Amino acid sequence: MSGGPRLSALVVCHNEERQLADCLGPLAFADEIVVVLDRCTDGSEAIARAAGARCIAGAWPLEGDRRNAGIDACSGDWIVEVDADERMPPDLAAEIRRTIATAAPGYFLLPFDNYVGSRLVRHGWGASWGVMAAPRLFSRGAKRWGRERVHPSLTLQGPKRWLTARMIHHVDRDISDMLRRLDSYTTARAADLRDSGDIGSFGRALRRMPTRFLKCFVGRKGYREGYYGFLIAVMAALYPMLSHLKARLEPQSEAAQRQVKSRGEG
């Protein structure tokens, strides 16, 4: 589509037919769209192909593995990662094109506008409970995901830089959706803890609760969001404790291992 460096747009999803078309439409500015379909049983593949995407279907129990599979499938000089619940606004698309035209290899952090329902919640995210910015634009070879089920670690190469336009992220539909995400994330995290052979101590998980609450509510200015900022801080505080208790008290069942969703980096 352009005479400059080639750009790949990567979307990794699991059963996202409800919102996949709205995600893929704004990505037409890229030279290619690659969609990784992880154990999809709905109409996601048909929607992706209708949008002109190249589809990679399979089963990846680990979040990091399926994201790396998508990165490996991209042919562009630069890659922008977008989750199914995110939307690429025109100003960000234009900034990405301008940036990669002259940028040296490396990566760029994209700031996020996070929505709970129709409410923009810009402050307070973090501590494994959402992000306010993430390294989503990167040159080939500059980014690799770790082999965890949820919130995989990252290996980044090259200089750290920032874009200014914001990605739109519909992170939760409502408070009930937020609670479902907490349950899913902590189940996956508990499986990672069991696999590591070190689930940590109850005391350490307990000590992390006030620290994480304060990090989100005060350090990341969640107080500016009122009740929503308080909710985010509570979820972030509960995350390590619930993960620890699930790892300690619940059997390592096949059903628990499967509770890995296609939600973002958070």
CATH number at residue 148: 3.90.550.10
Q: Is 11 helix (H, G, I), strand (E, B) or coil?
A: strand
126-135 average pLDDT score = 91
> Does 152 reside within a domain?
yes
Are residues 64 and 146 located together in one domain of the fold?
yes
Are residues 167 and 179 located together in one domain of the fold?
no
The total of other beta-carbon atoms located within 10 Å of residue 250's CB is: 13
177-194 average pLDDT score = 94
Are residues 133 and 225 located together in one domain of the fold?
no
- Whole-model pTM? 0.87
> Structural domain tally of the chain?
2
**CB-based contacts of 106: which residues, under 8 Å, 6+ apart?**
138, 139, 142, 157, 158, 159, 160, 161
Q: In this predicted model, what pLDDT tens digit does every residue of 134-169 receive, in sequence order?
A: 999 999 999 999 988 888 999 999 999 999 999 999
Q: Is 261's pLDDT higher than 80?
A: no
> Does 2 reside within a domain?
no
| Contact in structure between 88 and 21 (CB atoms under 8 Å) | no
Short-list 32, 162, 33, CA closest to 106: 162
Are residues 151 and 192 located together in one domain of the fold?
no
| Contact in structure between 209 and 238 (CB atoms under 8 Å) | yes
Q: Is 198's pLDDT higher than 80?
A: yes
Which tokens is 241 given? 């404790």
Are residues 92 and 156 located together in one domain of the fold?
yes
Are residues 135 and 78 located together in one domain of the fold?
yes
Are residues 132 and 197 located together in one domain of the fold?
no
pLDDT-derived band at 257 (thresholds 50, 70, 90) equals: very low
Tell me the CA distances in angstroms from 36 to 52, 57, 195, one per residue in order. 13, 6, 25
Are residues 182 and 248 located together in one domain of the fold?
yes
Are residues 197 and 164 located together in one domain of the fold?
no
Q: Is 215's pLDDT higher than 60?
A: yes
Domain range holding 210? 175-257
**CB-based contacts of 189: which residues, under 8 Å, 6+ apart?**
128, 149, 150, 151, 239, 243, 246, 247
Identify the H or E element spanning 65.
Answer: helix 63-73
Are residues 240 and 109 located together in one domain of the fold?
no
Judge residue 11's burial from the number of C-beta atoms within 10 Å of its C-beta, 0-12 exposed, 13-18 middle, 19 or more buried. buried
The total of other beta-carbon atoms located within 10 Å of residue 90's CB is: 10
| Alpha-carbon gap, residue 193 to 247, rounded angstroms | 7
Q: In this predicted model, what pLDDT tens digit does every residue of 69-116 receive, in sequence order?
A: 999 999 999 999 999 999 999 999 999 999 999 999 999 999 999 999
Tell me the CA distances in angstroms from 167 to 63, 70, 137, 145, 256, one per residue in order. 21, 20, 11, 20, 31
For residue 156, list its beta bridge partners: 143
Q: Is 57's pLDDT higher than 80?
A: yes
